[in-house]
Structure 1
């Protein structure tokens, strides 16, 4: 008989899911996922765009409930699909009421699914778009620390609203640069993985005032539900683990990360 997994904890303080992909979830109906997320006190959910063919879908999903929001942007894996028409679509909708950021944008030299020079060009174009729209950005950076820093430096004075480097797995150099510049770092179920001490080291060095909670669902399901499809309602496990790693009271982590999310994406304190 398999060991019964621990139930998902329900906290009094609400939590904001800052990064998931609702259109990628397959294991259960969307309505059921959202109901379960509300049950565990997920107050808001941000679903993230990654490709030309899901920009409109994310906008549609951002309107399924008052507490669901979205982004518009092209992931570095899809950089070679970025065109003037795609840029115009992102620009046209970046200011929509339920769209809170430009993203997921950035660089990925681990998979190299797109030419690196193309990735850099598309990253710059979308950062400029965020500047023009006065929107924060959601950044993906993998095995590209030096180029990520170099490109972000080009926009230090023009990007008035920073944003987050999500699912942070990079080195301390990028972490320090980002934190010094006022960025947040997003952490998810990776922090619960046995072999992710490097990520936990970054959690320890990051001020709680600059940490955001996310799942990146349907990917990166936290312990004790690894092996299942991830979902926003597993976010309480991430919050618990951040509190453990940083040796902080859980209530402080919940309260501060909530405020961080409001400040970053909703211009609320």
Structure 2
């Protein structure tokens, strides 16, 4: 008989799930997923756009509940699908009441699913949208630390609101630059993986006031549920790991990351 997994902890403090992909979840009905998230005190969920064919889907998903929010943006994997028409759609909708950021945008040199020159151009164009619309940014950066820093430096004088470098797995150089510039770093189930000491090192150096909780569901399911599809209701395990790594009370982690999420995405 297999060993029973721990039950998901339920904390008194509310949690904001700052990064997931609700339209990619397959294991259960969405209403059931959202109900389970509420049961573990997830107060708000941000579902993230990544491609031209899910920009409208994300907008529709925000109608599932008044506490579901979204973003508008094109992932670096999809950079070669970025067109003037796609940019116009992002610009038209990113200022909507339920849209809280431009994203997920950035650079990915690990998979190289799109030409790197194209990725850099699309990253710049979407950062300009954030400048023009006064929206925060959700950034994806993988194996592209130097170019991510270089492009962000180009916008230091015009990007009034920052945002988050999500699912942070980069090196300390990008972490220090981002933190010095007022960005938050987002951490998810990777923080619980046995071989992710490099990520835990970044968590240790990140001020708790600049740290966000996320799942990136359906990907990167935290221990002890690795092997299952990830979901927003697993986020308490991420909070627990952050508290353990930073040697802080879980109450402090939850209260502070909640305030960080409000400041980043819900400032009004």
Moved over 3 A (4+): none
Q: Distance in 2 between matches of 1:193 and 1:94?
A: 34
Q: CA deviation at 1:166?
A: 0.1
Q: CA deviation at 1:60?
A: 0.3
2:254 partner SS? helix
Q: CA deviation at 1:66?
A: 0.4
Q: Distance in 2 between matches of 1:55 and 1:85?
A: 12
* 1:57-110, Cα deviation, whole Å (9 max, x unpaired): 000001110000000000000000000000000000010000000000000000
Instruction: Name the counterpart of 1:115.
Output: 115
Q: Distance in 2 between matches of 1:42 and 1:249?
A: 19
Instruction: Name the counterpart of 2:184.
Output: 184
Q: Distance in 2 between matches of 1:100 and 1:114?
A: 26
Instruction: Name the counterpart of 1:265.
Output: 265
Q: Distance in 2 between matches of 1:157 and 1:181?
A: 11
TM-score if structure 1 supplies the norm length? 0.99
Q: Distance in 2 between matches of 1:108 and 1:18?
A: 20
2:11 partner SS? coil
Q: CA deviation at 1:157?
A: 1.1
Q: Distance in 1 between matches of 2:155 and 2:266?
A: 21
Q: Distance in 2 between matches of 1:132 and 1:15?
A: 30
**Mapped pair 1:221 → 2:221:** yes
Q: Distance in 1 between matches of 2:45 and 2:187?
A: 15
* 1:181-211, Cα deviation, whole Å (9 max, x unpaired): 0000000000000000000000000000000
Instruction: Name the counterpart of 2:156.
Output: 156
**Mapped pair 1:126 → 2:102:** no
Gaps of 5+ in 1: none
* 1:93-139, Cα deviation, whole Å (9 max, x unpaired): 01000000000000000000000000000000000001000000000
Q: Report matched runs for 1:25-36 at 5 Å.
A: 25-36=25-36
Instruction: Name the counterpart of 1:245.
Output: 245
Gaps of 5+ in 2: none
Instruction: Name the counterpart of 1:94.
Output: 94
TM-score if structure 2 supplies the norm length? 1.00
- The count of aligned residue pairs is 268
